[in-house]
Amino acid sequence: MKKLIGIVGSNSKKSTNRQLLKYMKKRYSEIDEIELVEVSGLPIFVKTEDMEIPMQAERMLEKIKKADGVIVATPEYDHSIPAILSSALAWLSYGVHPFLDKPVMITGASFGNLGASRAQAQLRQILDSPEIKARVMPSSEFLLSNSLKAFNNNGFLTDTQQVKWLDSLVADFNEFINISTQLTNTHKDDETNLNDFSGDEGANNKEVIN
Amino acid sequence: MRLVAIAGSIGKTSYNRMLLEFMVKKYKNLVEIELVDISELPVFTQDNDLSDSVAIQNVYQKVFSADGVILATPEHNHTVPAAMKNMIEWLSYKLHPFTGKPVWIVGASYYDQGSSRAQLHLKQILESPGVNAFVMPSNEFLLSNAKSAFDEDGNLKDTRTIKFLDSIIEKFLHYVKVIDLLDTPDPRTSEDEDLDAKNPVNTTIENVNMKSDEWVENASLKVHAVDGSTYVKLDRGILTVNQINYFLNSMPMELTYADDNNQFIYYNHNVPDSKMLAARVPRQVGSPLSQVHPERAFNHVKKVIHALRNGTELVGMPVSGNNNDIHVMHYYKAMRDENGRYRGVNEWVLDIMPIIKYYLSVTGQKLVKDEQVDKISPIFGLDVITGASVKNNESTDSFKSASKHENDETKNNSITESEIGIEIGKLLNSGGNIATEGVQPEGVKRSNQQLSKEVNVENSSDNDVDVVSGASEN
């Protein structure tokens, strides 16, 4: 049994991305223990005096550190991930590195036809940045389009094709987590580098405050 | 031209803000750039729409009213800062100030990359359908190693970098003008002029019913129009809104503004319609021109507007029913912006007889018939449309040449007074005189004869002239 964290990338009460993660939590409860965490409530990222991060981010940090893998479910706002999810990732890479070499699977749900495709592509680049350095599962898009109509009243995905594809992806993700534990050669160097890394703009405030 | 500049990082120290501050200073003689702060914006959520909050309205108004926007982005995790994205989410949800707006992206970063990837993300974001900005292509400005790029006074140190920035801002100012052209209505022929005002321009207040009697009130709410004692900066001067009203309402003529979308958006309302030479009532303002003209006048309205839109500066025409005591003229003047783009018609209506009478009285002269005069058409500013000579009785709905030199036929055929009379009469009968039918409210329409009579009574212009000339003799 693997322990996974499912990050709900939207702060909307009616989020279909939350619905998707809840569905996954239920459906895969025999192979994975999925715990949902919310980005809703986090402040917009801003550099702080002593690189302190909000309590909510601190709690997320601890959960991600302990988890075997992370699923990020993102909607698409203006062809990219929501500011609130971007903010969460900024807090979670501000002097802390819970994502370093952490296996990550990206899913996305959108009301329209494209299923957050462009947001997912950007999210992939973001998670690959030197401050985050997650191990995003390659070739594994899950785009849930027309998400308002995708679930029935009990919260089940109704499209059997989609369900089958999701089953395969989750099975692959579990394998990917296993494989990732063997990719350890760069981990030590990365950790050292990240601890010295001062970010692009005042991530380390000591350098910019006169 | 006025630009706003927004720094994407909201931290206490930001090299992107420094870069923008430097640009404000450096280019102050070239263009006005206002820095807009986004650090106080609430977190975007669909659950609690704060589009009408002061903080968001503030940024919205600035972006909306700017000719162009400069966005300076650092790079956080290969993307734009959440604060920048948060601002864009608010301004692409219920409000859409970026639609069609020219945007220039710059960026400063600590290291060599100079925010290259964040700039690409930002470009994608700005081009999404909810935002719909016009991001300037190419011309990337990436300021790398920002920590050592500025001197103590906040000036960029490297002269080559400054020179490069100089060249891009020049291009951006051109780009702003070019993008403005995309929005410019360009009907091919006068028949294509849309009197229903269905092609909004960048000044059109959208989603407000143009035909409503309360258009002014509704549209004002929509854009938070200022009024009363708020100052407005003009070229050249500063007036409060009240002062602008005093000024326009005391103009010795009736003024009407129809914009480049052919929407009637203003008149100087200082007397009731019964006392106006060309009657208008307050509830008409906001209407498309098709609503305030009778259908039979549409063709002629279209011809005048099309001429103005395409380079004619001034069209003038008398109303019918003019006599020795009153000579009411309608003038249509093209209004153009600093780029030469047509922005609407300024119509003014006035009786020119008091001026003539004053002149005669002051100089001790009188009007006599001139048998040798080289007569011109009473309507000027419109090119000959059918090419028919003025003697051609078939040319019932042709406007005659404005200039006595530009058409040989006109020049060679001296026009007798009676012929002109016939021509004007025909124009009027065929619904051709835009002047008299101008913008008339339903229910207050009346014949031109009636209008002239009323005006005569109102004016008693002989007395006016006496008073004026008497005063000048003292």
The Cα-based distances of B288 to A24, A77, B201, B210, B300 in angstroms read: 56, 36, 13, 7, 16
The span from the CA of B237 to the CA of B228, in Å, is: 17
The pLDDT of residue B469 is 29
Asked whether residue A126 carries a pLDDT value surpassing 70, the answer given is yes
pLDDT band, residue A84 (cuts 50/70/90): very high
A136 to chain B: which residues are within 8 Å by CB?
none
- Residue A44 has its nearest CB partner, among B13, B43, B77, at B43
pLDDT confidence of residue B113: 65
The residue to which tokens 């003047």 are assigned: B333
Share of chain A above pLDDT 70, in %: 92
Res B414: pLDDT:
39
Identify which has the larger pLDDT, A179 or A209: A179
Indicate yes or no: CB of A118 within 8 angstroms of CB of B46. Answer: no
Question: Would an 8 Å CB–CB cutoff place B43 in contact with chain A?
Answer: yes
Kindly report the average pLDDT of chain B as a whole number.
Answer: 82
DSSP structure string for B15-55: HHHHHHHHHHHHTTTT-EEEEE--TTPPPP-TTS--TTSHH
CB-side neighbour CA atoms (13 Å) of A76: 30
Q: How many CB atoms lie within 10 A of CB B404?
A: 14
Q: Is B361 on the interface with A (CB under 8 A)?
A: no
Instruction: Return the pLDDT at B112.
Output: 67
> At A115, is the pLDDT very low, low, confident or very high (cuts 50, 70, 90)?
low
pLDDT above 60: residue B228: yes
Q: Evaluate if residue B412 carries a pLDDT over 60.
A: no
| Secondary structure element (H or E) that encloses residue B259, with its range | strand B254-259
Token pair belonging to A122? 């950007």
Residues of chain A positioned with their CB less than 8 A from the CB of B80: 86
pLDDT at residue B197, rounded to an integer: 95
pLDDT at A186: 82
Q: Which of A102-116, A153-167, A187-201: highest mean pLDDT?
A: A153-167
Residues in B 78-137 with any Cβ partner in A closer than 8 A: 78-83, 85-86, 88-89, 92, 108-111, 113, 115, 117, 121, 124-128, 130-131
Interface test with A, best of B14, B18, B78 (most A CBs within 10 A): B78
Nearest Cα residue in chain A from B10 = A46
Mean pLDDT of B273-285: 94
Q: What pLDDT digit, counting tens, does each position of B33-79 carry? A: 999 999 999 999 999 999 999 999 999 999 999 999 999 999 888 89
Residue B457 pLDDT exceeds 90: no
Residue B430: predicted pLDDT:
40
Q: Report the residue of chain B nearest A49, measured CA to CA.
A: B12
The pLDDT tens digits for B172-181 are 999 999 998 8
| pLDDT at residue B324, as a whole number | 86
Please judge whether B46 and A14 are an interchain contact, meaning their C-beta atoms are less than 8 angstroms apart: yes
Residue A90 has pLDDT above 50, yes or no: yes
Q: Read off the pLDDT of residues B286-328 as tens digits, 9 standing for 90 and up.
A: 999 999 999 999 999 999 999 999 999 999 999 888 888 999 9
Look at residue B230 and tell me whether its pLDDT is greater than 60: yes
B414 — phi, psi (to 5°)?
Answer: -70, 140
pLDDT at A210 over 90: no
How do strand B102-108 and strand B134-135 relate by DSSP bridges? parallel
ipTM (interface predicted TM): 0.87
pLDDT at position B385 is 45
Predicted local confidence at residue B456, as pLDDT: 39
Stretch A69-73: mean pLDDT, rounded?
97
User: Cβ–Cβ of B39/A83 closer than 8 Å?
Assistant: no
Query: Is there a contact between A200 and B115 if contact means CB atoms under 8 Å apart?
Result: yes
The verdict on B389 touching A (C-beta cutoff 8 Å) is no
Q: B20, B5 in Cβ contact below 8 A? A: yes
Least confident of B171-180, B359-368, B398-407: B398-407
